[in-house]
Structure 1
């Protein structure tokens, strides 16, 4: 076997293992994991172990591929019940908010750094996109109002597309490429975003229909097929000059909220792949950085980052969210929680690949900005939430039902675990009032499996297997959710078992 391939595999495996251990260390220290991944790349690079890596185009290509996986995971793990009330604020932040942020950041850069307007607008566009990986990883661990968090998630999932289009247009202008009038460019951007949305939703809905009606020979193929559908959405949209980033996020959102076979396994696989993509992306970006140049970029990075955090972001949030009557403390938190991460650094490679003059200065400035302000913002978010009085009480976990198709029987095999705080605890099986063609066939309690009967009660921590005719699967799942929330008298209390909408 080729020795180079063997060494590359060994180095890659070692990096992943070290990064996994670093994630554990980051959690204990309260540090964002991306900082440790970037540091690992810098240590491996030219000023550390001496690995020479300067392939900007390869970094850009792999960065886009990693962002596709990260956005797919973000869509798959986002609950529609949370997002539906945050669609308006999220879209406003990812469109109007981006435009305001770019303009204000560029104006301050022209004033403080004496940059010309086209270059300042390019710099403002590169740093104005919030990072999906940072938002998903950080905010979902905090007890915050779900509508507010969902607004930030929708923003981070959708704002990459308009920002990338804007960076490409500005890079072409700075390199003397063909330019068009601003309103035609705006129409083109809107058309690409709309096209990506249509393709993403269509492929997500079609893929969910196909997976529900397919009995694949291996359970492990369902996670692969789910993630492949998301990647296909990106590629399909990009091939017809629509927004692939909008398509992949919305495709993941549709699939993640559909009653798919082996849904939990698919989500877990996507989370693992997204983690791998983050590790590879951040290490690669760390390799590309030149520490000898970063000190010179510290001053501009602090000025641009401070302008973005303290002026541009608050103004953009105010303009975007004022029509939605979001409480002032929540708007203040949204302003502070506009986390930057891999996306701005990847975007900073676009001008370099396009041959924009002084583009290396943009990359260095953005790299330092992301490191400094991720450290400042990421660690301060719990404190800011407490100071603003918006920390929400931790709600009981929702009961999760995992399903697998039984093709020849036209039935579904479902699995659930009775979570802490669930009112399923103590309920006799007949009191579940499941459809007549659905039944609990096995319970595992404290490691012991047994076949239940009419006198069996569900207990906290139980794992149960149910079999239901395919036509009754959705009704059975709704009934289980209803009893989990409101107990055996759920129907009398008006609980239907539909997905909840948090504030």
Structure 2
């Protein structure tokens, strides 16, 4: 078949359709959808499409990762991650370095037994590319499960996966510089450490400032065509990445922090923007995983010695390297039980990001770069198969899961000038001790009960409306969420959830 523009579009449409259908099948059987996206790409690459462009693979991965990290930050509530900010940052920085060091030692020792002579810097490069957990995998799996996690585990895992890619990226780039013997190749430990610190500081500062600029612009520009707000925010995302990289900061960290800033401020058209970026992020994830699946060379991947090394690296990562780094990093933090630490160790999912980083040595012409890519690819598949399919099961096994209660009220506040908070309160017996009518119960000051849900039916209450245990109240208040949470706690009202 002659490759024309029309044929290219046809193949792209078929790939997306098959990937979406595969995602539906994956959801039904509890498998990670991203794993099947990868499988679809490999299947088409094996029989129909020849695609081996490292440059195009990197470009697609870079664009997709910017969108994924920004949306992950935008969907993360700072109030949720505040209690786990310390351990999250330690896992995202020190944890990546420890994982890389432990795994590199293992690779350096076992590679010769499998027929591969590998220097320690090369082993460290391999370990660095796969040292971070994958935000796309973690976000999609955790958020698709109707399951809550105790001890603030979900915000911790999302914070770690969203912010640890920059450290793995910097380690990868630094080691490529050392191994390539370029003019910048004579990088000592001291200069390497300075380089890492500068990248982190500049990236964090740039991401915060560009995020604040994006918030100010979105609220002041007053666009007549509301569809252009998403275009404007896309421009800020790519500007954050490219500008930060230009001034020698880490662009991926800047993008994630910019998303965190935007998502935790009131902005114009926030609801439509959230919906747009949710769908666009899924598109980027599908495209990235399909591209990486198409790129892999199945003949090289299935060589027995490559399968052995890839399997050994993947299993060691799951069973030893990840748990060692997690337990070491969480030593100073006493608010996590041993079971919670084991669960954090288990949800160290790898995904598209390690595979993407594994293409960088190929671009730089590093010796054994093809082997490195195949080993990382196999290790990632192993992680998605073993860990990705057991996220919920492991939480249940360790007694850390609970069913998330969905709000009975599907309400959104669209006016950005309204300083209001909507909460859903479930009536308990303690609230009815002073009387069973609405006027008898104690609620925070400056609050109003707008609606009551009882057995799936809704009605607007009056002061003399009698309440029952289990009724759900839609409450509006002009107080901050923090003040409301404290007041509810003092009043003995514990079954409260945010609405909208």
Question: Normalising to structure 1: TM-score of the pair?
Answer: 0.82
1:397 CA drift (Å): 3.7
Question: Which residue is equivalent to 1:6?
Answer: 6
Residue 401 of structure 2 aligns to a residue whose secondary structure is: coil
* 1:432 and 1:480 in contact (8 A); partners too: no
What is the distance in 2 between the residues matched to 1:159 and 1:360? 25
What is the distance in 2 between the residues matched to 1:394 and 1:481? 23
1:6 CA drift (Å): 2.5
Question: Which residue is equivalent to 1:469?
Answer: none
* 1:478 and 1:497 in contact (8 A); partners too: no
* 2:425 and 2:496 in contact (8 A); partners too: no
Question: Which residue is equivalent to 2:37?
Answer: 37
User: Kindly tell me: are residues 7 and 462 of structure 1, through their superposed partners in 2, closer, same or farther at Cα, counting changes over 3 Å?
Assistant: farther
Residue 63 in structure 1 maps to residue 65 in structure 2 = no
Question: Normalising to structure 2: TM-score of the pair?
Answer: 0.83
Question: Which residue is equivalent to 2:197?
Answer: 190
User: Kindly tell me: are residues 147 and 455 of structure 1, through their superposed partners in 2, closer, same or farther at Cα, counting changes over 3 Å?
Assistant: closer
1:453 CA drift (Å): 11
1:420 CA drift (Å): 9.5
* 1:434 and 1:476 in contact (8 A); partners too: no
* 2:425 and 2:473 in contact (8 A); partners too: no
Question: Which residue is equivalent to 1:476?
Answer: 478
* 2:443 and 2:488 in contact (8 A); partners too: no
* 1:98 and 1:128 in contact (8 A); partners too: yes
What is the distance in 1 between the residues matched to 2:7 and 2:472? 46
What is the distance in 1 between the residues matched to 2:281 and 2:472? 29
Over residues 63-103 of structure 1, what are the superposed CA-to-partner deviations in whole Å (9 max), with x where a residue is unaligned? 11111111011101111111111111111111111111111
Residue 306 of structure 1 aligns to a residue whose secondary structure is: helix
Backbone CA RMSD of aligned residues:
3.9
What is the distance in 2 between the residues matched to 1:16 and 1:304? 31
* 1:433 and 1:479 in contact (8 A); partners too: no
What is the distance in 1 between the residues matched to 2:383 and 2:357? 17
What is the distance in 1 between the residues matched to 2:170 and 2:226? 39
Question: Which residue is equivalent to 2:300?
Answer: 293
Question: Which residue is equivalent to 2:434?
Answer: none
Question: Which residue is equivalent to 2:245?
Answer: 238
Question: Which residue is equivalent to 2:455?
Answer: none
What is the distance in 1 between the residues matched to 2:125 and 2:196? 16
Over residues 351-388 of structure 1, what are the superposed CA-to-partner deviations in whole Å (9 max), with x where a residue is unaligned? 00100011000111111111122101111222211221
Question: Which residue is equivalent to 2:317?
Answer: 308
What is the distance in 1 between the residues matched to 2:320 and 2:438? 55
Over residues 30-80 of structure 1, what are the superposed CA-to-partner deviations in whole Å (9 max), with x where a residue is unaligned? 1111121111111221x211x111111110121111111110111011111
User: Kindly tell me: are residues 217 and 390 of structure 1, through their superposed partners in 2, closer, same or farther at Cα, counting changes over 3 Å?
Assistant: same
Question: Which residue is equivalent to 1:471?
Answer: none
Question: Which residue is equivalent to 2:372?
Answer: 362
* 1:72 and 1:227 in contact (8 A); partners too: no
* 1:399 and 1:481 in contact (8 A); partners too: no
1:320 CA drift (Å): 0.7
User: Kindly tell me: are residues 107 and 9 of structure 1, through their superposed partners in 2, closer, same or farther at Cα, counting changes over 3 Å?
Assistant: same
Identify which of 313, 323, 335 aligns with 2:332.
323
Deviating beyond 4 angstroms after TM superposition, the runs of 4 or more aligned structure 1 residues are 398-401, 403-406, 411-416, 418-423, 431-436, 452-464, 477-482, 489-492, 494-500
Question: Which residue is equivalent to 1:144?
Answer: 149
Question: Which residue is equivalent to 1:470?
Answer: none
Show the 5 A alignment for 1:352-431: 352-397=362-407, 402-404=412-414
Question: Which residue is equivalent to 1:202?
Answer: 209
Identify which of 322, 341, 344 aligns with 2:351.
341
Question: Which residue is equivalent to 1:16?
Answer: 16
1:181 CA drift (Å): 1.4
What is the distance in 2 between the residues matched to 1:191 and 1:37? 36
User: Kindly tell me: are residues 454 and 53 of structure 1, through their superposed partners in 2, closer, same or farther at Cα, counting changes over 3 Å?
Assistant: same
What is the distance in 1 between the residues matched to 2:446 and 2:404? 32
What is the distance in 1 between the residues matched to 2:67 and 2:297? 27
User: Kindly tell me: are residues 398 and 167 of structure 1, through their superposed partners in 2, closer, same or farther at Cα, counting changes over 3 Å?
Assistant: farther
Residue 84 of structure 1 aligns to a residue whose secondary structure is: helix
1:212 CA drift (Å): 2.9
